Amino acid sequence: MAPVRLRSLLIAALAVSPTPAPLQDDLIAIDVLIQPGPKMLAAAEQWNAKMRAQLPAGFALDAEHVPHITLLQCFVARADLAKVLAAVDSVRSKFDVTRMTMTATGLFHIRSGNDGLAGIVVEPSAQLLALQREIIEAVNVYARPGGRGSAFVRDKSGTPYAPWLFEYVETFVSRQTGERYNPHVTTGVAPLAWLEEMEKNPFDPFTFDAKGIATYQLGNFGTASKRLDRRS
- Give the residue from 125, 226, 222 showing the smallest Cα distance to 183: 125
| pLDDT at 43 (0 to 100) | 98
How confident is the model at residue 185, as a pLDDT? 97
Regions of the chain short of the pLDDT cut 70: 1-25, 231-232
The residues spanned by each domain of the chain are 22-227
Tell me, what's the pLDDT at 8?
A: 36
CATH number of 22-227: 3.90.1140.10
Dmax (CA) for the chain in angstroms is 85
Q: What is the pLDDT of residues 204-215, one digit of tens each?
A: 999 999 999 999
Strands 115-122 and 210-218: unpaired
pLDDT at residue 134, rounded to an integer:
97
Q: Tell me the per-residue pLDDT of 39-80, one tens digit each, with 9 for 90 and over.
A: 999 999 999 999 999 999 999 999 999 999 999 999 999 999
Contacts of 58 (CB under 8 A, 6+ apart): 51, 52, 115, 188, 189, 190
pLDDT at 25: 62
Q: Do 146 and 25 contact (CB within 8 A), yes or no?
A: no
DSSP code of 37?
Answer: -
